[in-house]
Amino acid sequence: MYDLNVPDEIPPDAAGAPESPPYVDPADELRARLQTITPDLFVTKILVAMNVAIFLAMIAGGISPINPTIDNLIHWGADYGPRTIAHGEWWRLGMAMFLHIGIIHLAFNMFVLWQAGPFVERLLGNAGFTIVYLVSGLAGSLVSVAWNPYVVSAGASGAIFGLYGALLGFLVIHRDADLAEVLSPVKNSALIFIGYNIVFGFIRAGTDVAAHLGGLAAGFICGLAMSVPLTVEPPPRRDIRNAAVAVAAIALFIGAAVLLPRPVDVQAEMALFTTVEKNAVDTYNATVRRAQMEHLRDPQVADLIEKNVLPGWAAEHDRLARLKGLTGPPQRVVSRLLKYMEMRQQSWQMLVQSLRQHDIAGVRRAMQMQREAEQAARQAIPQNH
């Protein structure tokens, strides 16, 4: 016997009802969407290659891979106020982004760039990513040289901070729940990176916090301005936003370059002082030898010192005393230098007066003051000059 009774309810599957769509991970969906919008990633690779290539070129040129000197960095294009601003070498703002102070500095920055770069490049597109990186790096260099023009600055940190800033700017614009949930781990990682490095930068001496903050701020503003909906159809129109950001950044950089005060080139001043000092000391020693060989009288020797030695020395002292805008180590160097010059000048003036008065004790005091001045000179004049 067959049971021919029809059941009161037909199971959904038996009725051919459509099955529920399979679950799609929102993170996977976002990655697929970003890959469709920005299919090729090549800018990050190019930037890493450029940084490494320039570092290898420095090593090939004889620069220490562990501890390059300040002069080495300046020679290769590091950011340094007197050269960047006072001498108009504005190309240093860009070149400094690709120089690194040793292999550890390079390795850390390239690791972070390699980790963060691809995602931000997909988010902003190849052109947008390039603009953010360059604008942030240039802004970091500019803020650094404006904040402390006598600090030699180099490294990709400002540009890398700009990438994280752009990511945060994007997240501020796109706050929809689904996207925020997917990108929450990325946002948390960015905030941890930024917070840790800023705090560590204030604690560790030698960290260019100004460049970090300048790059971060520039990147954040770029992220706000360049963010577009992550839609595949129609594709996001990024060209106009990218062009507007690039033009605005160029205008702001030019304006800042015009308004920045021109710092004193302390290295050039030291070189000039060294020449003046050598000429003055050589002239004084030649006068003493002439007096001994020709048996000049004391008043004659006094006249020669007063005429040939003191005027140039006093003029150089007055010129250094008029230098304005010095801060930090350069100010301390010039202050010590002026003290040395004053001691030397007083010793020569005392010698002139004592010779005219035939004061042997005064001559001895003047010679003792000269020895004290020479000791002060060893403390005042940097060893590399």
Please spell the DSSP secondary structure of 364-382, one letter per residue: HHHHHHHHHHHHHHHHHS-
The per-residue pLDDT for 368 is: 92
Confidence of residue 192 (pLDDT cuts 50, 70, 90): confident
Spatial separation of the C-alpha atoms in residues 382 and 384, rounded to whole Å: 6
The per-residue pLDDT for 355 is: 92
Backbone phi, psi, residue 151, to 5°: -95, 130
Spatial separation of the C-alpha atoms in residues 283 and 168, rounded to whole Å: 65
What percent of the chain has pLDDT above 90? 49
Please spell the DSSP secondary structure of 293-332, one letter per residue: HHT--HHHHHHHHHHHTHHHHHHHHHHHHT--S--HHHHH
Confidence of residue 11 (pLDDT cuts 50, 70, 90): low
The per-residue pLDDT for range 151-166, each reduced to its tens digit, is 899 999 999 999 999 9
- Summarize the confidence of residues 162-186 as an average pLDDT: 77
Per DSSP, helices labelled H in 21-156 are 26-37, 43-60, 70-76, 81, 91-95, 103-147
245-254, 258-267, 372-381: least confidently modelled range = 372-381
Q: What is the dotted CATH code of the domain comprising 26-259?
A: 1.20.1540.10
The per-residue pLDDT for 375 is: 83
Higher pLDDT, 35 or 146: 146
What is the CA 117 to chain-centroid distance, rounded? 21
Query: What integer best gives the mean pLDDT of the chain?
Result: 85
The per-residue pLDDT for 178 is: 59
- Count of Cβ atoms closer than 10 Å to residue 328 Cβ: 11
- Summarize the confidence of residues 224-246 as an average pLDDT: 79
The per-residue pLDDT for 154 is: 93
Q: How many angstroms separate the Cα of 41 from the Cα of each of 44, 47, 189, 308?
A: 7, 12, 22, 70
Instruction: State whether residue 196 is helix, strand or coil.
Output: helix
Backbone phi, psi, residue 251, to 5°: -60, -45
Confidence of residue 18 (pLDDT cuts 50, 70, 90): low
Q: Parse the chain into domains and list their residue ranges.
A: 26-259, 266-380
Residues labelled as active-site residues: 157, 212
**Cα angle at 17 between 13 and 19, to 5 degrees?**
85
Residue with tokens 């990655």: 31
Q: How far apart are the first and last CA of the chain?
A: 114
**Cα angle at 166 between 163 and 172, to 5 degrees?**
150
The per-residue pLDDT for 263 is: 84
**Cα angle at 201 between 199 and 205, to 5 degrees?**
130
Helices (H) and strands (E) in the chain, counts: 15, 0
The per-residue pLDDT for 16 is: 54
> What b/e sequence results for 155-193 when a residue is b if at least 16 CB atoms lie within 10 Å of its CB, and e otherwise?
bbbbbbbbbbbbbbbbbeebeeeebeebbeebbeebeeb
Confidence of residue 22 (pLDDT cuts 50, 70, 90): low
pTM of the predicted model over 0.85: no
The per-residue pLDDT for 190 is: 75
